[in-house]
Amino acid sequence: MIWGMTASTFTLIHVLLSLIGIGAGFVVMFGLLTGRRLDGWNVPFLATTVATSVTGFGFPFDHLLPSHKVGIISLMILTVAIVARYALHRAGAWRRIYVICAAIALYLNVFVGVAQAFLKVPALTTMAPKQTEPPVVVTQLVVLALFAALTIVAAKKSGGGREASRLSPGIVAREAWKLKPSTC
C-alpha cells in the first residue's frame, strides 16, 4: 500500500498526472511560443507537474535515487515558476523567469518520461537494457536540444526585453504586489 492505495493504483495515478502535466505543458509551451495567453492551461500544467514530482517520492526506496534528485530540482523550479506567475504576476523580468522555469519543468517531466519509456516499454528496453546505450543517450540529447531551442525562442518572445533588463528583481517584486492578480 502506498498512501492508502495499492501500488498499481498509485502508479496509475502517478503516470496519469505525469501525462496530463506533459500534455498541458505542451499547450502552455505552444502559447509561450506563439505569444498567446493560454492562462487556463497554467493551473493544470503546474498542479499536475507538482503532483507528479510529489507522488514520485511515494514509491518505496531505501536511498536517494536519481529520480528523487530530478524531483527535488523540479519542485524547486516549479516553486519559482508559481511565484513568478501568481505572486509576481509575470511583471517585468518575472515574465521571462516564468517562461524559462515552466519550460525547464516541462523538460524534466519529459526527460523522466523518456527514461521510464526505456525502462518499461519492452521494445525500448531490449534496445537499451542498461539505460546507457546509444538509443537512450541520443533520444535524451535530442529532447534536450529541442527543449533548449524552444526555451530560447519562448524566452525571447516573452517580451522581458528592455523593461526587464533595467529593473532589478527587487523593484519588480515590489511593483508586482501593486498589480491586480491576473485570471487563471
Per-residue pLDDT of 1-42, as tens digits, reads 999 999 999 999 999 999 999 999 999 999 999 988 888 999
86 CB-near residues (< 8 Å, 6+ apart): 181
Q: How many CB atoms are located within 10 Å of the residue 154 CB?
A: 22
Instruction: Using the structure block, give the residue that is written with the C-alpha cell 518520461.
Output: 113
Per-residue pLDDT of 40-75, as tens digits, reads 999 999 999 999 999 999 999 999 999 999 999 999
What is the overall mean pLDDT for the chain?
90
Q: Residue 37 has what pLDDT?
A: 84
166 pLDDT band, cuts 50/70/90, is very low
Q: Residue 159 has what pLDDT?
A: 78
What's the Rg (C-alpha) of the chain? 18
